[in-house]
Chains A and B, each alone.
Chain A
Amino acid sequence: GENVEQHPSTLSVQEGDSAVIKCTYSDSASNYFPWYKQELGKRPQLIIDIRSNVGEKKDQRIAVTLNKTAKHFSLHITETQPEDSAVYFCAAGYTGGFKTIFGAGTRLFVKA
């Protein structure tokens, strides 16, 4: 069935450094790749997304890249700040319906 793998499970960086989280997906019919951020005790919220007709998308310090051939997509956060500390989830949406499948999450720690 559909599957999304996410790495690493935990990532610790120094404030100001970059952070990269990588995901792979199994279903080639996937066409929507969102990233959600979940702060401690709060609901997940969308921070950026990309559709399969686009290879890269950037929003200020956050960027996402997509390689459809390899079924890989990645989240890049530059100039990390302590408020970036959270759990980040990648996900894949499927054209066969409306469901979204999530990766296991990456806990990002940004040390001041």
Chain B
Amino acid sequence: DVKVTQSSRYLVKRTGEKVFLECVQDMDHENMFWYRQDPGLGLRLIYFSYDVKMKEKGDIPEGYSVSREKKERFSLILESASTNQTSMYLCASSPTMAGGAGELFFGEGSRLTVL
């Protein structure tokens, strides 16, 4: 089974703190993604990466950055956390499919609260 592991299930941070969310996948997938899930808004794409050291902005990248130094690991960084970044963060990975997008395998999620 594909396993996508997010290091922290629950975090509470203060406004202005730097926050790291870590994600590791064990299936040698080329593509990794960070989504944010909020009620009524679905899953919104923050950043994705299709190769080591490569990154692409999604639909809501403002206030976030990412790092992919190794194929299996994709980190989401909040340089200065704000209360409007309180949310559930979902990491996902997928293999490269001919013709583009393929099935996403999600982690359990990291629920971040910024006070």
* Contact in complex: A9, B40 (CB < 8 Å): yes
In the complex, the answer to whether B90 meets A93 with C-beta atoms within 8 Å is no
- The answer to whether A46 touches B56 (Cβ under 8 A) is no
Q: Would you list which residues of chain A between 3 and 42 have a CB under 8 Å from chain B? A: 6, 9, 31-32, 34, 36, 42
**In the complex the two chains form, is B33's CB within 8 Å of A99's CB?**
yes
B106 at the interface (CB under 8 A from A): yes
Taken together as a complex, chains A and B put the C-alpha atoms of A94 and B50 apart, in Å, by 14
Distance A102 CA – B107 CA, assembled complex (angstroms)? 16
Contact, CB under 8 Å: A98 / B101: yes
B11 an interface residue at 8 Å Cβ cutoff? no
**B43's closest neighbor in chain A, by CB?**
A102
Number of residues of chain A lying within 8 A (CB) of chain B: 28
Complex alpha-carbon distance, A34 and B94, angstroms: 13
The answer on a CB contact under 8 Å between B100 and A98 is yes
Task: State whether B50 touches A45 (Cβ < 8 A).
Answer: no
Q: Given that A43-B90, A101-B59 are contacting pairs, would A49 and B43 also be in contact in the complex, using a CB cutoff of 8 Å? A: no
Question: Would you give the 0/1 interface string for B73-88, flagging 1 where the beta carbon is closer than 8 Å to chain A?
Answer: 0000000000000000
Taking CB as reference atom, which chain B residue is nearest A96?
B100
| Chain A 81-110: CB-based contact to B (< 8 A → 1; otherwise 0) | 000000001000111111111111100000
B100 touches A32 (CB 8 A): yes
Q: Which residues of A contact B72 (CB under 8 A)?
A: none
B33-77 contact mask (Cβ, 8 Å, vs A): 1 or 0:
101000011111100101000001011000000000000000000
With the chains together, A66 CA to B100 CA distance in Å? 18
Q: Which of A45, A98, A102 contacts B94 (CB 8 A)?
A: A98
- Known: A32-B99, A43-B107, A43-B108. Contact between A101 and B45, CB under 8 A? yes
Q: List 28 A-B contacts (CB under 8 A).
A: A9-B40, A31-B99, A32-B99, A34-B103, A43-B106, A43-B107, A44-B106, A51-B99, A89-B42, A89-B43, A94-B100, A94-B101, A95-B100, A96-B100, A97-B48, A97-B56, A97-B100, A97-B101, A98-B48, A98-B94, A98-B96, A98-B100, A98-B102, A100-B101, A102-B42, A102-B43, A104-B40, A105-B40
